[in-house]
Structure formats: structure tokens, C-alpha cells
């Protein structure tokens, strides 16, 4: 085979020197059709460039085809990555002229082979891409998009594929190339083609499959690229009308990218895209039994949820049939549709009025029923996370709390303490924290739940997930705050069972003391409030053994060093509320045992308090 190729190459070089197209053409065809890799041994770049200079369209076609074939390998691709070759190829590249819906077949074939040659040269080749940009040949390449192709024969189908293949291979270079392409109106040219395809999407499948990838590449190369509103509308309409899953996937991916922008979210909402997706999924859900189909379904579902994350789009869609559609999906046996319904309702529940309506309309009961069947370690984490996120939003408005508690929320989610997946735990703790807000009875009951508090202590000391660690600490502080914040020294004797049980749990007090050094001022303040309640109640009965136990635990936890750290690092940024709570806590500590007072003195707490700017200001008024 190698000897045969030697002979062919030698013949080609002779034909080139003699400028004999009759001899060169069959040899070029042989090279193109031969499976032999030319590798490093052969260098025919000069000969082919020479042949390209001839005024012979048929010769140009065969030379371009030959270059396209040999540049499929890295070695030959490098040999042709020179300005003289690329300049000549692009000089020959022009939009095929057409008359009365017909086109010169030689001109179309030449354009096709030139696109193949340049596309293969550009493949993973920044040197070639840079040359094209530097000589301004990209403008000629993008002009090919202006050729209005009717897909009525195989030759035109190939041209459509290789035209956008060349553009895609070129755009996959640096972001500079993509930005220049935008300047050269590539998006507008692609939009015109897509708009024409709307008339008969199924007929133009091949055209769409070639035109959509360059748009995808542009979104990958240029961050925050915003399409014109008209293009986003066109893509949404294509999605509604297409039956080809590859086209649907491309449209969904493009819209998903564009919908990162809130204005686009609203535009797509107003276009009815979410309802369209709902109808498509309802139509094809029984066919979603392959991995590819499931991926497509998830992409579609994710787009509905993404659009609902925008405030304006969410409020708009709340007034449309989509709300009922998402409620209907709560009864779906398909976990993807069920999860999407839950997440969608969770986004609708970002408004207090929506939340109240959803509780009044018993949507909450449906959600709790679903969670009750999916609250174990063996159930799907994504669904659990979605349910807890939505319930957390629903329980935030004060009018909803009693109804949600009465419906059994706490009893349903407490078994989920066995789950140790950080995203689920984070939402679980946040939901509980929102639920106990202002609910004295519930907070008191949960504070006496030894299993819960032990788990909170464990997570607060061991979790590598910052959100879980923070929520564990905050929930402990909130339980104490809401169980005892309204109790004073007057009236009947206080039931301090919950606090005594809390203090008795190993590490509980230490966790709250550690919270004083949090980087978040809100958490520092919550720790101060909880610790003040603890010390106030325990120190009210100094003869009690519990008072001494608390003081010992506070000293062992290094309360003095934590307070010193808090004041030193955050004194200048403390709000008036934090300063007042800090003063209250320190005053309570001074009412403790002698050893606790000595501990505070050793860490110079009283003097450090005087350095807080806002406190100094109070004193000098």
C-alpha cells in the first residue's frame, strides 16, 4: 500500500509541475479515496496549493476534497495550517448563486468541499483559527449562512451540515473568535434561518440540527450572552413544534442558558413556555423509558423550575393554569414530574399570600402526605430535598404555623433525623427552625427531645457541610429562645425541664458557646440570647446543683475566650441589639459562681466591653 501511495504522490507532483489537470484529477481522487494515513512521510501541501491557483472549478473541487480527507489527521492538519493555503481556500469560498430555485451543482459542490477542508483544518487547531481571523476570512465564512437552502436533495443536505460544521469548529476556539462572530451578526443570520424553519419544523430537521449547535457554542464561549428577545421566542416556538428529541434537547439547553437572566424568565413565562413543556411532557411521559428520554425529561422539568425562580415570572405564572398543572403533578407516579411539581410549588411559595392560600387550599396536606411516604433513608434524596424546601417556605408566614403543626409536620419530619445526606439535613433543620418560630409549646417539646438535641450537637461539632453546622447551632438556639423568651420571674413557677435536659446532654452548652465566635453576626446574637436565657434561669436558683453544673460547663467551653474573641474581632461592627445582649449575658455570668467570675476576669471581659465603639458612644452622650 505504501509503495502504491509513493507512486500516486510522485505522479501528482509531476502533474502539478506540468500543470496537467487531466492527469492530476484522477490522482487526487485516488488520494481522497485511499484509507492510507499520509502521516509525516508525505507533504503535498505545496502541490495542492499550486493546483488551487488554476482557473478550473472541477480541479478546485477535487483539491478541496483531497485536503478535507488528508487533514483528518493531526500531522497533515498541521502542514496545511498556513496562511497561503487558508487564504486561497477562503478566496474560493463564496455563497453559491441561485436562479429560480436552482443552483450550479459544481458551485455547490465546491462550496461543500471547501467547507469540509477548512472545517477539518480548524478542528482543535487554534493556529488555523487565528489565521482565519487575522486575514478577515471569518466574514466570508459567516456569509455562507445567507444562502437560503431548500432541503430537496442530498447535495444540499451535505452542504448544510458541513457549512455549520466549519462554523462550529471555528467558534470552538477562543472567546475572542466568538465575540467577533457576534459583531459580524452571526446570531442574526442564524435567527433568520430558524425563523424560516418555523413554517415546517419537521421538514427542516436537518437544517435545524446543523444551525442550533453554533448557537450553543456561542453561549459556552461568551459568558452572559443574551440573545435578542425575538430569537428566544423563536427557540421556544421550535420547542413547541418539533418532534425530534435532538432538536428538543438543543432548544431546551439554549433556553436553560438564556433563562439565567430574569428578563428572559419573564419573557418565556409570558410566551407560555412552561405550559407548553407541561403539555409535551404529559403527551410523551409514557415513552420516557430510556436513559436519553429521561435526560430530556429532566432538562424540560428543570427549565420550568428555573423560570419560576424569577420573581416577576413567578408572580405572572401564579395567575396562569400552570399552578393547577403543578398541583396535578403531585399525584404523578413519575418521580421526575412529582419532584418538579413540588419544586414549582416551592417557588410559588416565596410570597406570604401565596403560602397562606396554599395552606388554605390543602396543598400543604398533599405535600405532607407525599413526605410521609418518602421520609426514610431508602427514599430519593432529591424528592426529600424538594419537599422540605417547599414546606419550609409554607411554614414561614405566622398564620400558617399552627395549621402546619396541627397537620403533623413535625411528626413526619423527625424520623428524617436518621438521614445524613447534607442537603436533606440542611433543609430539615431549616424547616424545623421556621416551624418553632413563635411556637412556645412546640419549642419546649422539641427541647426535651433528647434524640433531636443529641443529633444537633453531633452535627454542630462534626459536620463538614457549613450549612448543616450552622443550622444545627441555630435550631438549638431557637428552641431555647422560643421556649422561654416570654417567661419572666413573675407568675407561676417555670418548667425548666427542657433546659435541664439540654444542659445535661454532653456538648450542648459547648456548642452554643462556640457559636459566639461565628463569622455571622446573626448567629452570634442568637447564641447570646440563648445563653442569656440559660444563665438567667439557672442562676435564679443559686442553691440548685444545676446552677453550678452550668457554670462549670461554661468555663470548660471557654466562654471567656470566646467572648474575648467575639469582642476583639467584631466589636466595631456590632449592632446596638448585639451590644445590649452581650451586656446582658456578661451581667448574668457575673451573677454566677466565684470560679465563673474569676474566669471572666482572667480574660479581661469587663475591660474589653469598654472598647466596643457603640458602647463608648453610649457612655459619652
CATH architecture type of domain 1-224: Alpha Horseshoe (1.25)
Closest by CA position to 580, among listed 557, 550, 612, 552: 612
pLDDT, position 335:
95
Whether this model's pTM surpasses 0.85: yes
Residue range 301-328: mean pLDDT, rounded: 98
Q: What is the pLDDT of residue 181?
A: 97
* pLDDT digits 0-9 by tens, 170-188: 999 889 999 999 999 999 9
Mean pLDDT throughout 274-284? 95
pLDDT reported for residue 1: 66
615: confidence class by pLDDT, cuts 50, 70, 90: low
Taking residues 68-72, what's their average pLDDT?
95
Position 99 scores a pLDDT of: 58
Residue 117 has pLDDT above 50, yes or no: yes
Separation CA 211–CA 165 (nearest Å)? 9
How large is the average pLDDT for residues 138-158? 82
Banded model confidence at residue 105, pLDDT cuts 50, 70, 90: confident
Instruction: Look at residue 493 in the predicted model and tell me its pLDDT.
Output: 54
Q: Is the pLDDT of residue 144 over 80?
A: yes
pLDDT at residue 621 greater than cutoff 80? no
For the chain, how long is the longest CA-to-CA vector?
116
Span 496-517, average pLDDT: 94
Tell me what pLDDT residue 102 has: 65
Q: How far, in whole angstroms, is CA 86 from its chain's centroid?
A: 40
- Where helices occur in 53-104 by DSSP H, the ranges are 57-70, 74-79, 83-92
Q: Is residue 78 scored above 50 in pLDDT?
A: yes
| pLDDT at residue 486 is higher than 50 | yes
Element (H, E) at 107: helix 105-122
pLDDT higher than threshold 60 for residue 509? yes
Q: Is the pLDDT of residue 361 over 50?
A: yes
Top pLDDT among 41 and 323 is at 323
- Check residue 281 and give its pLDDT: 95
pLDDT band for position 402 (cuts 50, 70, 90): very high
- Per-residue burial over 235-259, b if 16 or more Cβ lie within 10 Å, else e, is bbbbbbbbeeeebbbbbbbbbbbbb
In this prediction, residue 463 has a pLDDT band, given cuts at 50, 70 and 90, of confident
- DSSP letter at 21? H
pLDDT at residue 288, rounded to an integer: 84
Q: How far apart are CA 37 and CA 324, in angstroms?
A: 62
Q: How confident is the model at residue 156 (pLDDT cuts 50, 70, 90)?
A: confident
- Taking the C-alpha atoms of residue 508 and residue 188, their distance in angstroms, rounded to an integer, is 63
> Contact, 96 vs 108, CB < 8 A?
yes
- The CATH architecture that domain 438-486+495-620 belongs to is Alpha Horseshoe (1.25)
**pLDDT confidence band for 150 (50 / 70 / 90):** low
**pLDDT exceeds cutoff 90 at 526:** yes
**What average pLDDT score do residues 560-582 get?**
92
The DSSP result for 421-451, as a single string, is -HHHHHHHHHHHHHHHTT-HHHHHHHHT-HH
Asked if 177 and 170 count as a contact pair (C-beta separation under 8 A), the reply is yes
The pLDDT value given to residue 153 = 64
- What percentage of the chain exceeds 90 in pLDDT? 83
Amino acid at each position: 500500500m505504501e509503495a502504491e501511495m509513493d507512486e500516486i504522490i510522485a505522479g501528482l507532483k509531476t502533474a502539478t509541475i506540468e500543470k496537467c489537470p487531466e492527469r492530476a484529477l484522477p490522482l487526487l481522487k485516488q488520494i481522497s479515496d485511499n484509507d492510507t494515513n499520509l502521516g509525516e512521510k508525505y507533504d503535498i501541501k505545496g502541490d495542492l496549493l499550486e493546483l488551487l491557483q488554476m482557473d478550473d472549478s472541477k480541479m478546485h473541487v477535487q483539491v478541496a476534497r483531497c485536503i478535507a480527507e488528508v487533514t483528518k489527521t493531526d500531522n497533515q492538519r498541521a502542514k496545511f495550517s498556513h496562511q497561503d493555503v487558508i487564504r486561497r481556500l477562503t478566496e474560493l469560498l463564496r455563497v453559491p448563486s441561485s436562479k429560480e430555485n436552482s443552483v450550479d451543482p459544481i458551485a455547490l459542490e465546491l462550496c461543500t468541499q471547501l467547507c469540509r477542508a477548512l472545517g477539518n483544518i480548524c478542528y482543535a487547531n487554534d493556529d488555523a483559527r487565528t489565521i482565519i481571523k487575522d486575514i478577515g476570512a471569518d466574514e466570508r465564512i459567516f456569509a455562507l449562512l445567507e444562502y437560503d437552502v431548500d432541503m430537496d436533495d442530498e447535495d444540499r443536505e451535505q452542504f448544510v451540515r458541513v457549512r455549520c460544521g466549519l462554523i462550529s469548529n471555528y467558534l470552538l476556539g477562543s472567546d475572542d473568535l466568538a465575540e467577533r462572530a457576534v459583531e459580524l451578526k452571526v446570531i442574526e443570520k442564524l435567527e433568520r434561518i430558524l425563523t424560516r424553519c418555523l413554517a415546517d419544523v419537521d421538514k427542516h430537521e436537518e437544517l435545524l440540527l446543523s444551525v442550533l449547535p453554533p448557537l450553543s457554542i456561542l453561549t459556552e464561549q461568551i459568558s452572559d450572552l443574551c440573545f435578542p428577545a425575538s430569537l428566544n421566542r423563536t427557540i421556544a416556538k421550535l420547542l413547541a413544534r418539533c418532534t425530534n428529541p435532538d432538536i428538543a434537547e438543543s432548544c431546551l439547553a439554549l433556553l436553560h442558558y438564556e433563562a439565567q437572566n430574569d428578563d428572559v424568565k419573564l419573557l418565556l413565562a409570558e410566551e407560555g413556555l412552561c405550559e407548553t413543556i407541561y403539555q409535551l411532557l404529559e403527551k410523551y411521559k409514557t415513552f420516557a423509558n430510556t436513559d436519553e428520554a429521561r435526560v430530556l425529561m429532566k432538562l424540560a422539568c428543570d427549565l420550568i423550575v428555573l423560570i419560576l425562580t424569577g420573581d416577576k415570572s413567578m408572580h405572572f405564572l401564579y395567575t396562569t393554569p400552570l399552578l393547577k398543572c403543578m398541583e396535578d403533578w403531585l399525584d404523578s407516579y413519575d418521580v421526575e414530574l412529582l419532584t418538579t411539581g413540588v419544586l414549582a410549588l416551592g417557588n410559588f411559595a416565596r410570597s406570604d399570600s401565596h403560602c397562606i392560600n396554599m395552606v388554605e387550599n390543602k396543598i400543604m396536606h398533599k405535600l405532607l402526605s407525599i413526605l410521609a411516604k418518602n421520609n426514610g433513608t431508602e427514599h430519593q434524596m432529591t424528592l426529600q430535598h424538594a419537599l422540605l424546601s417547599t414546606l419550609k417556605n409554607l411554614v414561614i408566614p405566622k398564620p400558617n404555623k399552627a395549621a402546619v403543626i396541627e397537620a403533623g409536620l413535625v411528626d413526619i419530619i423527625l424520623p428524617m433525623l436518621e438521614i445524613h445526606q447534607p442537603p436533606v439535613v440542611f433543609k430539615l433543620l431549616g424547616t424545623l427552625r421556621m416551624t418553632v418560630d413563635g411556637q412556645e409549646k412546640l419549642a419546649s417539646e422539641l427541647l426535651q427531645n433528647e434524640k433531636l438535641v443529641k443529633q444537633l450537637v453531633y452535627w454542630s461539632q462534626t459536620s463538614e457541610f457549613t450549612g448543616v453546622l450552622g443550622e444545627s447551632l441555630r435550631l438549638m438556639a431557637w428552641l431555647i429562645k422560643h421556649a422561654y423568651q416570654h417567661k419572666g420571674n413573675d407568675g407561676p413557677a417555670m418548667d425548666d425541664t427542657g433546659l435541664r435536659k439540654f444542659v445535661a446532654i454532653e456538648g450542648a452548652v459547648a456548642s452554643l458557646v462556640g457559636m459566639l465566635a461565628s463569622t455571622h453576626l446573626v448567629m452570634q446574637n442568637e447564641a447570646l440570647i440563648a445563653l442569656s436565657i440559660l444563665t438567667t434561669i439557672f442562676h435564679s436558683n443559686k442553691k440548685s446543683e444545676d446552677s453550678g453544673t452550668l457554670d462549670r460547663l461554661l468555663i470548660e467551653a471557654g466562654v471567656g475566650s470566646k467572648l474575648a474573641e467575639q469582642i476583639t474581632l467584631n466589636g466595631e461592627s456590632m449592632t446596638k441589639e448585639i451590644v445590649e445582649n452581650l451586656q446582658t449575658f456578661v451581667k448574668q455570668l457575673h451573677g454566677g459562681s466565684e470560679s465563673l467570675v474569676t474566669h471572666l476576669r482572667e480574660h479581661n471581659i469587663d475591660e474589653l466591653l469598654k472598647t466596643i465603639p457603640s458602647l463608648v458612644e453610649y457612655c459619652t452622650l
